[in-house]
Structure 1
Amino acid sequence: MVIMEGFFTPSKGVFFGIHFADVHFDESTEVDIVNLNSPTPKQIVRIVGVILSLILLTTFTGFVVDARRQFLPGTTLERVAIGSLTPAEALTKVRHVDLQPINHTIELTALDQTVASSSAQLEASYHYDQTLTAILQSQQADFFGWLRQLLSNNQAELAYPLPVTYNQDKLKLLIQALKAQVDAPPHFPSAKLNTSGLTESLVIDTGEDIFTLNESATLQQLTEKLSQVTNQTLAQNSDQPISAAAVLDPVSQQLTPEQITQAHERAGRLVGEKLVFEKDHLKRTLNDTQLVSLLTFPDGYQTEAINEVLYQWAQEINRVPQNAEFVYDPETLVVSVFVPDRKGLELNTAMMAQSVVDGLKELEGTDTQNLNDATLTKELALIETEAEKTLAETNNLGIKERIGFGESYYYHSIPSRVHNVSLTTNRISLTLVAPGEEFSFNKTLGEVSAATGFQPAYVIMSGRTVLGDGGGVCQVSSTLFRALLDSGLNITRRLQHSYRVSYYELDRQPGFDATVYAGNVDLRFINDTDDYVLVYGQADPATLYMFIEIYGTSDGRTTEIKDYQSWDPRPPLPTQYIPDSTLAPGQLKQVDWSAAGIKAKFTHIVRDKDGKIMRENEYYSNYRPWAAKFLQGV
């Protein structure tokens, strides 16, 4: 007899079917070991059952693990039996068979263009290892389905095709070959106004349907279609190429009839209108022909074209700060150096691009009658940098700041006229006018003749336009007249031209010119400020633009031009032909040009710093109609 303490655990009891819940062991308890080591027949059956179950489970698990490494029985790849083989064994077998894709052709089409390559050119082949891996994964994706198939008594054939694969780089070359045939420059709808102010000259280009081949999307679509190609499908369609359509993206589209009508209406609203940007006498204008060209259809605006305009403006406007220089003889008051201080300027192109778009939108939605002279004015967006030295620091004459500004253009001038404009500007520039002194344009300019450097250009003399020394002088006097109007200085004499001159109406209405000629045909003003004033001008023969500035000390006066009117338009007089024996019979030589007649006037008001009117003058101009004149050989 052996005394046992805690020998049996509850789990052992369960295994042998012996329950000790009501048995208590202590030191006085004696257990018969022999009886405990003699299980009953029922217990023996249980033990054997558990052992057999473990053996069966282990065997089945090994079977499943081993089967998972193999293809299901009955599996074939392109009629090659690979059932119950591992991927490595199957790979060896199919390679030994040496399967080759059937020769075929791949076509890629877009619009009316087609490119083609043979399967050999595209390096068609089989990727056995990838295909075998894919088959094994697909068979085992559903474990219980795979197990049912594995244990099924009815082992049906599981036939798999062998997909043909192609060299991706070769497919890309095929796509690029088609792209080269299909792609074309976009042809966007646009509008063009051939004659400013004339709606009938408006032309709408309807654009064209143009596409670009999307390479990545086409490659994806082509690859997906070719992934379905097998020897079986090739054998079924041996005489037919495999055709696929390329993916196209539109780059421009033609307007529909309805959109064409809307485009005419939209562009027509800009005819005759202007968009002006200005700040401190710096001005840039978009006329109606330019505005129309900035439209895109069916909506939107030409961003690139707007940026090109702004780039050109920036080239003209941008400048670094300029320090003042002023050197003069205190005795004679002859100025040798004058450089006004100028702020550094940079066109804010980002703000301006948005401002142009905003202006276009406003003009499209604004009744022209609500605009002054059909012009919408907005601020020129500039980034300014102050100069380090100002004019006020250079002198004690009171030449501190600009108090007047005038500008003009003289496009289409002949070379001799361009020369005379520059010469005249240089002659009157840097003139100092004392307080109370009267300035005379003719006196300041001096003699106008070939001897003083002037060249023959067209002038108005005795009712005719003739070649004479000094043609172009009036370009400068007219520009000075505009600067005087802006300054508010006391203009004591101004005369109009006999007839309208196109140069003076390039940027102004009729009536803002001033003619000068020897004698009393003069432009004069009195310096009615308490300090000296200086006349400063520049003419640019390259851009055919000039300006005149008046410098002094501002006393707070302001100016206003109001009540402008033009009326009584009259057509040009009939063309005149003047017999000339120096010309060959019938030969014509034009010596004068026609001009329509018109009357114009405006009121110029000058107010002091308190707003009180100092002067109020009306400037009246009556331009006679003018006849074109030809010399005719007799």
Structure 2
Amino acid sequence: MPLLKTKFLAKIGKKLRNKKIRAVRWVVLGISLILFVLFSFYNFYFLGKIFPGIYVAGANLGGKSPTEAIATIGQEVNIPQKIVLSSSDTTFEIFLNDVGLAYDFIDSARAAYGLTRTGNILYDLWTRLSLLASPKTLGVRFTLDEQKLNNNLSEIADQVATSPVYPSAKIVGKEVVIDKGKAGTQVDIPTLRISIGRALSYPTGELVQIPVKTIDPSISDEEAEGFRKRAEIFINKSLEAIFEYQDFLYKGNDLVSFLNARGGYDGEAINTLALTISSQVDRQPQNPVFVFEGGRVKEFTASKDGVEVQKEELIGLITDNLKLLEENDQASASIEIPVNKTAPKITTGDVNNLGIKELIGRGISRFKGSIPNRIHNIVLASSRFKGVLVPPGETLSFNQLLGDVSELTGFKQAYVIKEGKTVLGDGGGVCQVSTTLFRAALGAGLPIVERVAHAYRVGYYEQDSVPGFDATVYSPSPDLKIKNDTPGHILIQPTVDTKTATLIFEIYGTNDGRIATTSKPIISSQTPPPEDLYVDDPTIPVGQTKQIDYKAWGARVSFNYSVTRAGEVIYKKTFVSNYRPWQAVYLRGTAPAQ
């Protein structure tokens, strides 16, 4: 009996539980149905409208159509005419018209409308529900001229920032002076641009704070001492980079500038150097120009290979040679600038049958400090040699090619050496031309039949050369004579650059394999100049002087010139220059003062 009762009660309990579960299910289903109907009605009601909880720059757009939203943004959003940036106690204004700012209300309304209509149904439904509890504010869309804005920000940054001082070393005399550097500040322009974007999207009229960060490149006392010791190594050292006839020489402070104060080398400075060298060496392939008329070459341009500096390799060579100079006792290092070459379509030899194929010799001199008349004479005298052809086996006479030197032939008065004095005479500066041609002939390995040195050492000819490499001329004698013993014609081409006060002579012909060398000149019997001489001059007022001659040390200078081909000496000569000591002469005024 008790067992039957228990089973009956269990059966009754189970039925009651099932009944409750069914009831709960119906309630849940009913509530879900009601919510579904309500949410469907909610979505249907806002069909074509912006859902509640969406704002643009503070303007409530919920329940509005895109067209209504555009009007609401225009009415409720306060559009600024300028933004004001602040740093400490200073403010800066940027007028929005100046940066081409244009607000786009249509795109702003479209963004608000599309926020809950991305095409992802579940995401969109969830967003519409979440907006009821957590409204979202969008910024006003706009466009502007980024370049103009950046220009404004750069100008403001220059006024706000304080430039840091980077550590540096400088050789002064025989000592190295170290600047340990100093901290500075820099405007964080990317962050500032973000802040400005936010201020324009959500215009409130508040100041935009200019973010500034500190930059401190300074070094410690210990680092400064290490930097000093490294810099001292380079006091009397040099690094040379060479390509063809271009020579880039760096020494002393140039080399110190490539050191990193904290160790190693300054990669940015070395990269800049490589770019600078490249800009002066790189060139496109050049086809030749050869116009022959009346026994001379009227127009000439030699063919040249295109050249491109291998910058990465050059950077490596510079770094390696700086390390070599720093770690060894050698005073200098030399680099052949690495390049890639591209041949021209036509070579010089293709456009003539005279044997003018390539550059075989080059001479250079400088005339900085020359008076205008002397420069005029240098230009005029050089022009007389432009396009001159010397047949094989013949000898060039400088005086014969130059012709008469006088006022009648266009020359002006400048200082010349005549009868043991420096005086004004027609053609002063012509010897600059003969000296440069002499140097070109030495470089070409041509026999020098006649050459005479100046009476005394002339400063112009030692601006970029050791003494002993000058040649004086004065018709009819002394003369400069050069023989063409090559298998073809040789062509003379001078170039004068008055801006850099540089004269260049180039000799073109056929390279027959000869190699010319000049020894280091031997300077002996040096004699100091006599005491200055003062000569009374009644044409100059009392108390005034005028220098008409300049002092120079006397010396005997000699060097050996040798030309070889296939290991055999085909020409050699020793050049001797006996320079007299030269006295400075001043005219001393004796005329009564006016």
Partners of 2:155 and 2:18 in 1: how far apart? 72
| TM-aligned CA deviation for residue 339 of structure 1 | 1.0
Q: 1:279 aligns with which of 221, 243, 256?
A: 243
C-alpha contact 1:580 1:631 (8 A) present in aligned 2: yes
Partners of 1:554 and 1:611 in 2: how far apart? 15
| TM-aligned CA deviation for residue 429 of structure 1 | 2.8
Counterpart in 2 of 1:354? Answer: 315
Partners of 2:251 and 2:369 in 1: how far apart? 19
Counterpart in 1 of 2:37? Answer: none
| Distance 1:45-1:490 versus aligned 2 partners, 3 A rule | same
| Distance 1:219-1:48 versus aligned 2 partners, 3 A rule | farther
| TM-aligned CA deviation for residue 210 of structure 1 | 0.9
Partners of 1:537 and 1:350 in 2: how far apart? 32
Q: Deviations over 1:302-343 (max 9, x none)?
A: 7368637844873576355132313134xxxx2142414321
Partners of 2:305 and 2:468 in 1: how far apart? 34
Partners of 1:511 and 1:480 in 2: how far apart? 14
C-alpha contact 1:409 1:546 (8 A) present in aligned 2: yes
Counterpart in 2 of 1:185? Answer: 163
C-alpha contact 2:303 2:346 (8 A) present in aligned 1: no
Counterpart in 1 of 2:283? Answer: 318
Counterpart in 2 of 1:7? Answer: none
% identical aligned pairs? 32
Partners of 1:565 and 1:43 in 2: how far apart? 131
Partners of 1:630 and 1:309 in 2: how far apart? 49
Counterpart in 2 of 1:341? Answer: 302
Q: Deviations over 1:76-104 (max 9, x none)?
A: xxxxxxxxxxxx9xxxxxxxxxxxxxxxx
SS in structure 2 at match of 1:484: helix
C-alpha contact 1:188 1:254 (8 A) present in aligned 2: yes
SS in structure 2 at match of 1:267: helix
Partners of 2:183 and 2:355 in 1: how far apart? 67
Counterpart in 1 of 2:217? Answer: 253
Q: Which amino acid aligns with 2:231?
A: A
- For structure 2, the residue ranges without an aligned partner over 5 or more in a row are 33-52, 54-84, 92-136, 141-152, 196-208
1:443 partnered with 2:396: no
Counterpart in 1 of 2:584? Answer: 628
Partners of 2:156 and 2:514 in 1: how far apart? 73
Counterpart in 2 of 1:454? Answer: 411
C-alpha contact 1:424 1:476 (8 A) present in aligned 2: yes
Counterpart in 2 of 1:41? Answer: 8
Partners of 1:303 and 1:281 in 2: how far apart? 27
Partners of 2:447 and 2:156 in 1: how far apart? 76
1:218-617 matched pairs, under 5 angstroms: 248-250=213-215, 253-295=217-259, 297-299=261-263, 300-301=265-266, 303=268, 307=272, 310-311=275-276, 314=279, 318=283, 321-329=286-294, 334-348=295-309, 350-351=311-312, 354=315, 357-358=318-319, 361-362=322-323, 364-365=325-326, 367=328, 370-371=330-331, 374=332, 376-566=333-523, 572-608=529-565, 610-617=566-573
| Distance 1:340-1:264 versus aligned 2 partners, 3 A rule | same
C-alpha contact 1:217 1:247 (8 A) present in aligned 2: no
Partners of 1:405 and 1:537 in 2: how far apart? 10
Counterpart in 2 of 1:199? Answer: 174
**Structure number, greater radius of gyration:** 1
SS in structure 1 at match of 2:540: coil
Counterpart in 2 of 1:619? Answer: 575
Q: Bigger shift: 281-290 or 402-411? A: 281-290
Counterpart in 1 of 2:183? Answer: 209
Q: Deviations over 1:180-221 (max 9, x none)?
A: 875223432334457xxx435x65444321122446779999
Q: Bigger shift: 427-436 or 288-297? A: 288-297
Q: Deviations over 1:151-187 (max 9, x none)?
A: xxxxxxxxxxxxxx9x99xxxxxx9999787522343
SS in structure 2 at match of 1:583: strand
TM-score when scaled to structure 1?
0.62
| Distance 1:410-1:345 versus aligned 2 partners, 3 A rule | farther
- For structure 1, the residue ranges without an aligned partner over 5 or more in a row are 1-17, 19-34, 66-87, 89-107, 117-164, 169-174, 222-243
Q: Deviations over 1:271-316 (max 9, x none)?
A: 3443333233233333545444555534533736863784487357
1:8-157 matched pairs, under 5 angstroms: 40-41=7-8, 43-44=10-11, 47=14, 50-51=17-18, 54=21
Q: Which amino acid aligns with 2:239?
A: L
C-alpha contact 1:114 1:178 (8 A) present in aligned 2: no
Q: CA RMSD in A?
A: 4.8
Counterpart in 2 of 1:150? Answer: none
Partners of 1:328 and 1:599 in 2: how far apart? 45
Partners of 1:484 and 1:323 in 2: how far apart? 23
Partners of 2:525 and 2:235 in 1: how far apart? 24
The count of aligned residue pairs is 478
Partners of 1:305 and 1:428 in 2: how far apart? 42
Q: Which amino acid aligns with 1:435?
A: P
Partners of 1:612 and 1:247 in 2: how far apart? 73
Q: Bigger shift: 544-553 or 390-399? A: 390-399
Q: Which amino acid aligns with 1:274?
A: S
C-alpha contact 1:218 1:247 (8 A) present in aligned 2: no
| Distance 1:216-1:307 versus aligned 2 partners, 3 A rule | closer
